[in-house]
């Protein structure tokens, strides 16, 4: 076999030029991850990275003679101030994607080995820490990374934080009775009562020319829902800058046919809306919102049933509920995975000190962001 080569893309022009190869690799990866696709990653960089001080692209691209076999979308940044800060290599969109990792196709074990060699060299150059966040327990990259880090134990210190956060999913390949779910959740009865009390009921898909109307519904119903909750708003729609990013990312993904934005109407009034992403054979149930006036009809469950029905008809194998193990998700799920964050540093006291500086600086950033939203 031809030798593997590793290159680092560190400018916006090179990032843009990768789009076609990136899409091909994302389609070939057996672990579909919409949060590693070019539209999502590029949109985040455009909003939060490009042109900012102390933010430098560091996209690792591994190739053989046939083309790209791996992409790790990383960037270098300075976190914290002065001697209390740390230089970190971390995933682009580290705070805005439910799953991290690396895109891999053929020769995955060799590719990950080459990546870890490269990351070790960065730690002994000008990076204090490497942070690989939100790694799924069942992803191929996670297992290969663990094996390779064992072989680098003498030169790279590894700290694994088990986030304790379940990511529920429903795998329908071995069979899944949607009719049983409909009966359990009283889908037909709830739809009938909704129609009897509020007029004609319809499911409306928003894409292309109708996408903006759907986004307006998503935002307005989300805000309406949080008005009823006695705690600060959370998630990507809570902060204006992150909201702008999410809406632009949805537009970019919709242009690639990767968005399912579905709402329920009752007599032309928006009852609920659900935003999902579709990548290869996996559907990511990402965000939902509903009008509290219709809570008695469980509109979220009505949307889930419709999404499952349409998705299974379109050949979806796995319905991924993303982060969080809320009970309403468990009612549909038949499997779960867990997330971890792997932090790499130099061995010994120097590495431990660098990790501590990074943790403190990141905690300060979170507190500042939280105060801005109050």
If asked whether residues 299 and 347 sit together in one domain, one would say no
Strand partners, 135: 340
What per-residue confidence (pLDDT) applies to 372?
A: 63
If asked whether residues 293 and 192 sit together in one domain, one would say yes
The answer to the question of residue 311 being in a domain is yes
Give me the domain span that covers residue 261. Answer: 174-316
Contact yes or no for 259/207 (Cβ under 8 A): yes
If asked whether residues 213 and 231 sit together in one domain, one would say yes
| DSSP secondary structure of 192-226 | HHHHHHHS-EEEEEE-GGGHHHHHHHHHHHHHHHH
If asked whether residues 202 and 290 sit together in one domain, one would say yes
What CA–CA distances, in Å, run from 27 to 39, 90, 256, 282?
13, 23, 12, 11
Instruction: From 217, 219, 195, 198, select the one nearest 206 (Cα to Cα).
Output: 217
The answer to the question of residue 322 being in a domain is no
**Taking the CA of residue 187 as centre, how many other CA atoms within 13 Å lie in the half-sphere pointing to its CB?**
17
The answer to the question of residue 324 being in a domain is no
What count of other Cβ atoms lies within 10 Å of the Cβ of residue 324?
12
Rounded CA separation 191/6 (Å): 55
The answer to the question of residue 325 being in a domain is no
The percent of residues above 90 in pLDDT, for the chain, comes to 88
Q: pLDDT tens digit string along 10-53? A: 999 999 999 999 999 999 999 999 999 999 999 999 999 998 98
If asked whether residues 275 and 355 sit together in one domain, one would say no
If asked whether residues 207 and 277 sit together in one domain, one would say yes
Mapping DSSP to helix (H, G, I), strand (E, B) and coil, where does residue 4 land? coil
Rounded CA separation 41/79 (Å): 20
What CA–CA distances, in Å, run from 171 to 35, 130, 279, 305?
19, 33, 15, 15
What CA–CA distances, in Å, run from 256 to 33, 34, 38?
14, 11, 10
Rounded CA separation 184/368 (Å): 44
pLDDT tier at 370 (50, 70, 90 boundaries)?
A: low
Residue with tokens 């894409």: 207
What per-residue confidence (pLDDT) applies to 165?
A: 80
Q: pLDDT tens digit string along 149-182? A: 999 999 999 999 987 789 999 999 999 999 999 9
What per-residue confidence (pLDDT) applies to 306?
A: 97
**Would you mind telling me the total number of residues written for the chain in this entry?**
374
Q: What total number of domains does the chain contain?
A: 2
If asked whether residues 236 and 353 sit together in one domain, one would say no
If asked whether residues 155 and 183 sit together in one domain, one would say no
The answer to the question of residue 50 being in a domain is yes
pLDDT tier at 362 (50, 70, 90 boundaries)?
A: confident
If asked whether residues 249 and 113 sit together in one domain, one would say no
319: its two tokens: 């319905």
The answer to the question of residue 249 being in a domain is yes
Residue with tokens 């509920």: 321
The answer to the question of residue 326 being in a domain is no
| DSSP secondary structure of 263-293 | EEEETTEEEEEEEEEEETTEEEEEEEEE-GG
pLDDT tier at 373 (50, 70, 90 boundaries)?
A: low
If asked whether residues 345 and 310 sit together in one domain, one would say no
CATH (domain of 297):
3.40.630.30
The answer to the question of residue 330 being in a domain is no
The percent of residues above 70 in pLDDT, for the chain, comes to 98
If asked whether residues 33 and 159 sit together in one domain, one would say yes
What per-residue confidence (pLDDT) applies to 207?
A: 97
If asked whether residues 180 and 220 sit together in one domain, one would say yes
Least confident segment among 163-167, 201-205, 228-232, 291-295: 228-232
**pLDDT at residue 106 greater than cutoff 90:** yes
């Amino acid at each position: 076999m031809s030798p593997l080569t590793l290159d680092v893309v560190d400018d916006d022009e090179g990032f843009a030029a990768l789009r076609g190869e990136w899409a091909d690799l994302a389609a070939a990866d057996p672990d579909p991850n919409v949060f590693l696709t070019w539209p999502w990653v590029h949109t985040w960089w455009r909003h939060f990275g490009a042109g900012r001080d102390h933010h430098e692209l560091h996209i690792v691209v591994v190739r053989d003679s046939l083309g790209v076999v791996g992409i790790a979308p990383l960037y270098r940044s300075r976190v914290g101030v002065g001697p209390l800060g740390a230089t970190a290599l971390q995933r682009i969109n580290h705070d805005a994607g439910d799953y991290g990792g690396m895109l891999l196709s053929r020769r995955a074990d060799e590719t990950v080995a080459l990546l870890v060699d490269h990351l070790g060299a960065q730690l002994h150059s000008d990076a204090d820490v490497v942070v690989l966040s939100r790694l799924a327990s069942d992803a191929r990259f996670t297992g290969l990374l663990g094996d390779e880090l064992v072989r680098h134990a003498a030169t790279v210190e590894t700290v694994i934080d088990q986030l304790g956060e379940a990511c529920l999913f429903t795998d329908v390949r071995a069979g899944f009775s949607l009719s049983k779910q409909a009966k359990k959740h009283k889908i037909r009865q709830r739809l009938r009562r909704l129609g009897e009390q509020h007029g004609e009921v319809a499911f409306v898909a928003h894409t292309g020319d109708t996408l903006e109307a759907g986004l307006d519904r998503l935002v307005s119903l989300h805000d309406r829902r949080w008005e009823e909750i006695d705690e600060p708003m959370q998630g990507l729609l809570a902060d204006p800058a992150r909201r702008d990013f999410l809406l632009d990312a949805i537009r970019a993904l919709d242009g690639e046919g990767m968005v399912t934005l579905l709402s329920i109407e009752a007599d032309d009034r928006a009852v609920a809306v659900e935003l999902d992403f579709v990548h290869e054979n996996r559907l990511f149930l990402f965000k939902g919102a509903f009008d509290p006036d219709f809570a008695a009809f469980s509109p979220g469950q009505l949307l889930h049933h419709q999404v499952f029905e349409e998705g299974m008809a379109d050949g979806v194998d796995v319905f991924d509920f993303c982060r969080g193990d809320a009970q309403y998700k468990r009612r549909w799920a038949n499997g779960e995975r867990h997330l971890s964050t792997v932090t790499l540093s130099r061995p010994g006291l120097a590495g431990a000190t660098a990790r501590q500086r990074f943790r403190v600086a990141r905690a300060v950033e979170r507190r500042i962001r939280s105060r801005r939203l109050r």
